[in-house]
Structure 1
Amino acid sequence: MRTKQANLLVALAAFMLFSFSCFCISRMRQTSSQLINCRNHVLEFKESLMRLKNSSENNRKDLLQALSHMQRGPTLGEDMSGAAGLRCLRHVHASNFILKIVPERSSAAGEGDPLRDDGPAAADRFEDMKTFLPHLRRLGRLYPNVVLGKGRRGVSFALGVPTVSRGNHSYLAHTLTYLLARMTPAEARDALLIVAVADNNEDYLHSVVTMIKKKFRWHVQTGGIEVITVPAFFYPELILSGDTATQLKRLYMKQVLDFCILMLYAQPKATYYLQLEDDIIAKRMFFKEMANYVHNIAPDNWFFIEFTELGFIGKLFRSADLPSLVHFFLMFYQDKPIDMLLGYLLLVKMCESMETFADCRQRQREVLIRYKPSLFQHVGTYSSFPGREQLLKVRLGK
């Protein structure tokens, strides 16, 4: 009897040992599988970084080649005579308030003209766009039409506000009121607010100009507000026709180009450039907080400062950096929205060859500064993109 019980205990122990061994083997296989998956993810991530590095190097070479070609190529305006010139001039005439073709040697920017302060150098800034937008090469020297403006420059901050028609809904007057009412007279004298009408609807342009002249007369008379128009034929056929791109993608591409021309126009007028939109409100004393942070608190090595988390709104740049930013945006305007392009530019700018991703991210955090609480907030729900609603909100500082 005892022998039978002993055999039973031995068998039970052997079964338990076998079960435990099977369980351990199963767990080891699972762990091994997880380790293999982790290793594969690491290898994929490494390959992605290498592809990104190679793409960045190729893009850098393309940009250097393009700039070299631009420097060797003719910088003067092309001949506007003949049939091609007549077709171009008819196009200009059909799109009033869109673009100035600055003569090579003339007094087009004479006394009282807002272009007088910039002269030929102003048009030269826009000549670079012909490298990335070949359809503009048939034109002479380009410069946006200044509908309202006194040629103010030498201020600390230029505030760029692009606007398009939203049908029966407009937030532009509300936005300008918030921005200007929350500046002191001294702050207003040290700033320039630039409204860029990026819509070929002349009725909308007329309504914007009339509204600004009526509601903000003092700022117009003192040169604190300027209104420019983005040229209708500045956009390539890819955006105008819509044959090869969806409507949303065409709107994103158009927005990149609108921001680029606004940045180039604002670049020589101020030390810093603040990107805004036409449907925002501003925190009380936003200008004082922004100026104090830039001049007294922010480190010297910042690339740009975010004064709100929403997309491209509230991004502050040094005006000296704007041309290089515009070049990068123009290279990839067909690929991504402008806020994503800015993120990619930061990645390219910060990551060095044979560097770990962690080190790259650390250096990004050192130069990417986000001011809290936000100084700007979206208003309304009607997006500048037709058929879409704007529901993103952030907490606005008191």
Structure 2
Amino acid sequence: MRLTIFADETGGTDETGGTGGTDETGGTDETGGADETGGTDDACACDYDDGSSDVFLTIGIPTMKRPNQTYLWMCLDSLFSNSDETDKNDMVIVILLSDPDPAFRENVTANISARYKPHLNSGLVQVIQVAPNYYPDLMRLARTYSQPLIRVRWRSKQNIDYAFLMKYSVNISRYYLQLEDDVTTVPGFLHKIKATVAPVERFASLAFSSLGFIGKLFHNSDLYKLADLTDGVLRGTSK
């Protein structure tokens, strides 16, 4: 099922789509700052229940340094401007600083704090980051789809970033939505998502965009399993 409510602002999908992969995660961010986690499965050893949270939706957004452009502010401004106060009380936005450059992370964290301090204080926005040694060795990957190795490494890291976000987000809300930092929303997007989900009793995922993995919605109860599967594949420990 697809309902397009997100638009790619870069003019293409090559660098923003990705695949339905996933990986590992750590703790929680209670300060509104960047929580650097490198946790293991034990950090998310919990029960998974779609009905355990009063919050409807968690939105996961990884962000990396891009040449001559920062899309994150456009994405966040779109989310906030297209949501009313009731919507904001029914969702959590988790931003993953996935670029290894410490200066980039510090700059983005400072800008988020300056631009969106009320949303940080309310818990609407949470910021996390990954310890560089958390990633597996991405230099020994087999080529897939005849792509160059640099592209294979990029996609594999992207999958790990998605998975890290998913495992961090377990039990925050009833549903999880994957976004990228270069997309924008339409007015009332949360109402449209709720209207789509309401009549659907069972689903593995719902697609709210045609842009690769962007706009894919999952049950909270499936997040950890989905993330763990891809983590095992990338680390060579899948069962």
Q: Please indicate the TM-score interval, normalised by the length of the shorter structure.
A: 0.7 to 0.9
Q: In the alignment, is the contact (CA less than 8 A) between 2:35 and 2:127 conserved in 1? A: no
What pairs up with 1:256-267 in 2 under 5 angstroms? Answer: 256-267=159-170
In the alignment, structure 1 residue 307 sits paired with structure 2 residue 208:
yes
Q: Distance in 2 between matches of 1:204 and 1:254?
A: 18
- Corresponding position of 1:188: 88
SS at match of 1:268: coil
Q: In the alignment, is the contact (CA less than 8 A) between 1:158 and 1:193 conserved in 2? A: yes
Q: TM-score, normalised by structure 1?
A: 0.45
In the alignment, structure 1 residue 291 sits paired with structure 2 residue 191:
no
Q: Distance in 1 between matches of 2:223 and 2:141?
A: 32
What are the ranges of 5 or more consecutive residues in structure 1 without an aligned counterpart?
1-95, 103-120, 127-152, 336-398
Q: Relative CO higher for 1 or 2, CA cutoff 8 Å, sep ≥ 6? A: 2
> Aligned match of 1:199 in 96, 99, 116?
99
SS at match of 2:92: strand
Displacement after TM superposition at 1:214 (Å): 1.6
Q: Which of structures 1 and 2 has the bigger CA Rg?
A: 1
Q: Distance in 2 between matches of 1:326 and 1:101?
A: 13
Q: Distance in 2 between matches of 1:277 and 1:309?
A: 13
Displacement after TM superposition at 1:251 (Å): 0.7
> Aligned match of 1:163 in 57, 63, 78?
63
The structure carrying a bigger helix percent of its residues is 1
* Number of positions where the alignment pairs a residue of Structure 1 with one of Structure 2: 192
> Aligned match of 1:99 in 37, 61, 70?
37
**Paired-residue identity, %:** 27
What are the ranges of 5 or more consecutive residues in structure 2 without an aligned counterpart?
1-33, 47-52, 144-148
Q: Distance in 2 between matches of 1:187 and 1:171?
A: 23
- Corresponding position of 2:18: none
Distance 1:187 1:97, change over 3 A: closer
> Aligned match of 1:178 in 78, 92, 101?
78
Q: Distance in 2 between matches of 1:289 and 1:243?
A: 40
SS at match of 1:269: coil
Q: Distance in 2 between matches of 1:258 and 1:101?
A: 13
Displacement after TM superposition at 1:230 (Å): 1.6
Amino acid at match of 1:225: V
- Corresponding position of 1:332: 233
Q: In the alignment, is the contact (CA less than 8 A) between 1:155 and 1:269 conserved in 2? A: yes
Displacement after TM superposition at 1:242 (Å): 6.2
Displacement after TM superposition at 1:294 (Å): 1.2
Q: Distance in 2 between matches of 1:266 and 1:243?
A: 28
Distance 1:122 1:155, change over 3 A: farther
Q: TM-score, normalised by structure 2?
A: 0.73
